[in-house]
Each structure stands twice: as C-alpha cells, then as structure tokens.
C-alpha cells in the first residue's frame, strides 16, 4: 500500500518512519525541502516537491494523510486537495482539528465522492518506538481501506487503534482524551508541589515518583516520564513556570458547557494553565516539563533572564 504524508514535523516525520518499518510505501511532502530530502534518505520515503507531486505519485484509490496545524492550514490544504483528487480517493486528518470542523469537512468531501477519515493521534515523540494510539472516525468502508496503515502505526495490529464511530468522532474522542490529560497533569503537579513544600521532611521527589511507578494506583505513563525527568533535575530552575495550552483543553471545556455536564477538574486544569502566564510556582515548572517529556513541546527557559 502507498499513501502520501503531508507535513513531516515531529509527529508526521516519525509516523513516516514507523510506516516504512511496517512495509507501507510513503510519498512525503513538507514545506522544508531539507526535511523531505533527509527523511527520504533515512527511511526510504519517496520525496515530493509539492502536494500535487505527492498526489501524482499515488495510484487510485489515492490516500493523502495530513499532519498539519489545526485551523487555516488544514482547511486550506483540504480545499486544495479536493481539486486534485477524484471520487473514491481518501483524505485523512491526523492533526488536532476541532471536531465540528471535521464533520463539516467530511460532509463537504463526501459531496464530491471523496472519502474522509479523522484520526485522533496520541503518542507524541515516543510514537515511533512505542506506536501511536489512534482514535478513528470514518465510514466503515474508509476505515477498512485504512486498516493496514492503522495497524502499522499502532503498538500492535490488534490493539492501540479503533474505529470509534462516524466522521468527527475520532477528533472528538481525542479532544476529551486531551482534556483528561490536562486534569491528570495538574493533579501530579500540585501533589508534587506539596511534597516539595514540606521542607522539614526534605523529601526526594525522584525517589517518590519512582516508588509510585510500582503497584501504586496513581501509576501511569505520565508518572513514568515525570519520574525520569526528576531523576536528572528536581529543581527545574532552568524551566520557566509557563504552561501553554494546545486548544483541545479549551474545546473540551466548551463541550462540557454545551452538554451541561459538570467537568470542574478539566475546567480548572485549563484555568491553571492560563494562570501560569504569571510565571510563578514549582507546579507549573513540572507541567511544562511533562509536556516536553511526552510531546516534545517547547519549554520557556529562564536562562538569560
């Protein structure tokens, strides 16, 4: 099977590498010609000089997977692709698009006979080695065509991916996933901040987080990453206590309001990220460290300030 991957950043590039390991042929395009050339040499990806060139290297039914920023970049690319594709072809949005936009785009492409799949994608910078968790929204027919690709990207062919429902449901599931992620991270950060604040005990946070990783009810991959980070640096003095939000946390809170469902933990976790712009607190340094550990998100350094 062969597909085109548009957008070869931290996630898209590693997804190409994993697909190639799984025997999937990939034609890749990115605005950076250097990135394209390097990935082609490294992974055996077929290089494309443009999106049109990438599409031209595919055989029907053509599959184009987008790993682009949510909003205007994805919107424009889907609009452009509609003029290059034909009925029976498939577009996949693997980014963090708002599910309302996804439903609208899917309906628009369906009017033109073009299939659409939204893939909520989790795994961050670790997805290359560990596999990606893929939450897929599509018609049964499109999901079946994409099955070999999903199996190659997932941790194993029989787990780590699921066709959760119709178009839009994949991005909706990923949105709620990220809202939960906000709450979990906030709980860890506040708890560890309290441990650190009990100065009379002189607690070793690296020791405690490592301890919790084994048979504790609060163990998780987030805790694994936090323990590893604290093993190397407990002060986190070089990391500013500034925690960005990707947007999906905001959408989750809006969804809670729309449904009239109480979600105080998720809502407050989002508000605490806004509050972090005041640049105070060890908990916020921890949150920034966690985001960097699992997703490679940039942290603000205190050096030079």
- Tell me the CA end-to-end span of the chain in Å, nearest whole number: 51
Residues in Cβ contact with 21 at an 8 Å cutoff, skipping those fewer than 6 apart: 152
d(CA 94, CA 171): 9
How far are the Cα atoms of 61, 166, 167 from residue 140, in angstroms, in the given order? 16, 8, 10
Do residues 219 and 212 touch, judged by C-beta distance below 8 A? yes
Is residue 231 part of the annotated active site? The answer reads: no
The span from the CA of 79 to the CA of 112, in Å, is 12
181 is catalytic: yes
Given the residues 42, 181, 200, 255, the one annotated as active site: 181
Q: Distance between CA 173 and CA 5 in Å, rounded?
A: 23
* Residue 89 CB-half CA count within 13 A: 23
| CB 234 within 8 Å of CB 274 | no
CB-based contact 89:138 (threshold 8 Å): no
Which of these is catalytic: 34, 141, 147, 174?
174
Residue 62 is classified by DSSP as P
Active-site annotation, residues: 174, 181
């Amino acid at each position: 099977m062969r597909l085109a991957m548009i957008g070869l950043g931290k996630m898209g590039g590693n997804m190409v590498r994993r697909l190639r390991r799984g025997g999937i042929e990939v034609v890749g395009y990115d605005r950076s010609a250097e990135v394209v050339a390097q990935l082609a040499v490294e992974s055996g990806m077929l290089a494309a000089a443009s999106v049109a060139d990438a599409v031209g290297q595919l055989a029907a039914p053509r599959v184009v997977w987008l790993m682009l920023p949510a909003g205007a970049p994805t919107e424009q690319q889907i609009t452009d692709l509609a003029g290059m594709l034909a009925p029976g072809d498939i577009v996949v949005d693997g980014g963090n698009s708002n599910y309302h936009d996804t439903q609208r785009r899917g309906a628009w492409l369906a009017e033109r006979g073009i299939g659409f799949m939204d893939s909520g994608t989790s795994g961050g910078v670790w997805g290359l080695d560990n596999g990606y968790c893929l939450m897929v929204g599509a018609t049964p027919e499109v999901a079946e065509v994409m099955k070999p690709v999903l199996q190659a990207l997932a941790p194993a062919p029989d787990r780590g991916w699921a066709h959760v429902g119709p178009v839009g449901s994949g991005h909706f599931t990923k949105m709620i996933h990220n809202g939960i992620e906000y709450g979990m991270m906030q709980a860890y950060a506040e708890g560890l901040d309290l441990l650190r604040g009990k100065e009379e005990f002189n607690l070793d946070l690296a020791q405690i987080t490592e301890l919790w990783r084994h048979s504790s009810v609060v163990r998780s991959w987030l805790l694994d990453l936090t323990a590893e980070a604290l093993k190397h640096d407990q002060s986190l003095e070089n990391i500013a206590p500034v925690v960005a939000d990707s947007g999906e946390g905001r959408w989750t809170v809006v969804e809670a309001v729309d449904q009239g469902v109480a979600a105080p933990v998720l809502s407050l976790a989002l508000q605490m990220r806004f509050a972090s712009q005041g640049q105070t607190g060890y908990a916020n340094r921890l949150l920034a460290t966690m985001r960097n550990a699992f997703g490679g998100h940039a942290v603000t350094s205190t050096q030079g300030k």
